[in-house]
Amino acid sequence: MNFADVFDTDFTKCFSDIVERNAANIIQYRQKIMTGQNNENNDIPFQNIYQCFLKTVIHQPFISVILHLDGIGLGKSNKLTLWILSCMIVELPPHLRNKRQNMIPLLSWISSREPIIDIWLSECIRYLRNFKSSGFLIHGYQRWFIYFIGVIADCPAMKLVLNHIGHNGYYSCWYCKVSGIHTLNKRQYHFEEVPIMRTVDTYMSESAEAEKTGENIHGHLGTSILHQILDVPLPQSIIMDYMHITLLRHARCVVLQLYASIKPKQRIELDNILRHQRFPHTFNRKMRGIKDTHIKATEMKNLLFYGLLPSFYSYIAIEKVAHITLFICAIRMLHGEKLFGSETGVLAHQLLVAYYKDHTKHYHGLENLVLHLHIHFASRYEKYGSLNYTNCFGQESFLGAFSKNKHGTRHWGDLLMHYFNIDFALQNKNIEHTANNFNMTEGPFDASPKSINIVEKLIMWHEHECGCNQATTCTKIYNRCIINGTMYHSLGYTKRQSTMSYFV
């Protein structure tokens, strides 16, 4: 018999403290949203869905949030898993939005089985509906309101919260009605030129019919419990997570097939090249060898964007190189700023279509749901912005840190909540933050005691530029320098380790 521990949150306390702590940043970023000053970054608030949502807002001031659902194993000696329904504030700038201290947990589930969504979330959703109407106070007198504009999760979690068929069933796509075929013990989705899209009306009617009849209606198993609180209707509010879909699934499977196609000796050479590749200090993780058992999403992103083509170019056929280049270029275009203006999404979609059409010529058994979902990336790009802002990196970091605050072998749920309460209290101890507290002074800093006399070329340069006889006092040497917000290191900086961020 399975039991589950369920822990909820004091919504008023969490939202009040976090919004109060970040109020200055929210107000400043909202001004940029209203005036469109920061649209070149292609962030969520500047895109179609958010701008249409603004026209429906009744209560002011407000925040809008995106829901996130995911689970993580708690131990190796048992089957306990932690599931958390959390949310992030869209009106926060991206560098603050994805910080752990600004993630808001709404509800948690600890059990040896996956959550029963209707039982787990029903009371939480009822409280959130009332919370939307009542709002919350900051500074003790100013009332703010909350809206829910989207949900993001990996495929297994999205299946649960949407009450939809999983990736191994027919009609498993959340955006269109591609049925798929069953071949070689796999569900495959061959390319279709014009798939039938799910609209708001058909999504509502078919999910209601599935709820009433108890049957599978084009992938719907019933109505989603999120219908009750979402201010942007389904399926428009469904946000794909490219971290799981692209990096941890499709790109990894493609890389493994490419890796298996080369000779064993070449695999060893390739792994050594990847492991010893140096990166600038702004990269938190390097690349691992392909044969390593566990590769994190950040490492896969570095491999896909920077290491795959130059590393594999000498080992695989030029046709395969050209084909994978289509995929890499498309994802890079959708990942950041609008490199080609308003045509960026259209061009990326054309590349993904060409990649999808010829996929079976180069890979075997990979025309699954995650490949099919890439066809919808361009439309999500236009509606919610760049992949850089619509992913689960921040939420996964929060979930991982949350799950580690335990010890012993029993009462893990109580321990996790106890330590989260401590962390939350410490984060709110000092709420005096300025809107620009992340900026640093531009220019050189960290003066070095070294003299110009140790480098002959510097002495010659000084004589040419200045001509005075006091080169030692006239010239200063610095270890580091900040240019356009990026820190660079000199070759004389002893703590630079293997970074490649040098300046002359």
pTM of the model: 0.84
| Alpha carbons 214 and 205: distance in angstroms, whole number | 14
pLDDT tens track for 265-299: 999 999 999 998 888 877 878 888 898 878 899 99
Mean pLDDT of all residues belonging to the chain: 89
Give a three-class secondary structure readout of 281-324.
Answer: CCCCCCCCCCCCCCCCHHHHHHHHHHHHHHHHCCCCCHHHHHHH
- Residue 40 or 77, more confident: 77
Give a three-class secondary structure readout of 59-94.
Answer: CCCEEEEEEEEEEEECCCCCCCEEEEEEEEECCCCH
Whether the Cβ atoms of residue 472 and residue 486 lie closer than 8 Å to each other: no
pLDDT tens track for 104-153: 999 999 999 999 999 999 999 999 999 999 999 998 889 999 999 999 99
The answer on pLDDT for 436 being more than 60 is: no
The answer on pLDDT for 438 being more than 90 is: no
Determine the pLDDT at residue 362: 94
pLDDT tens track for 464-484: 888 787 777 788 888 888 887
Long-range contacts of 486-495 (CB under 8 A, 24+ apart): 486/282, 487/281, 487/282, 487/440, 489/281, 490/448, 492/448, 492/450, 493/446
- Average of pLDDT values for 413-422? 91
Torsion, Cα 355 234 229 382, to 10 degrees, reads 50
Chain-centroid distance of CA 82 in Å reads 20
Whether the Cβ atoms of residue 385 and residue 47 lie closer than 8 Å to each other: yes
- Average of pLDDT values for 210-229? 94
Which amino acid is located at 206 in the chain? E
- Residue 361 or 439, more confident: 361
Determine the pLDDT at residue 257: 94
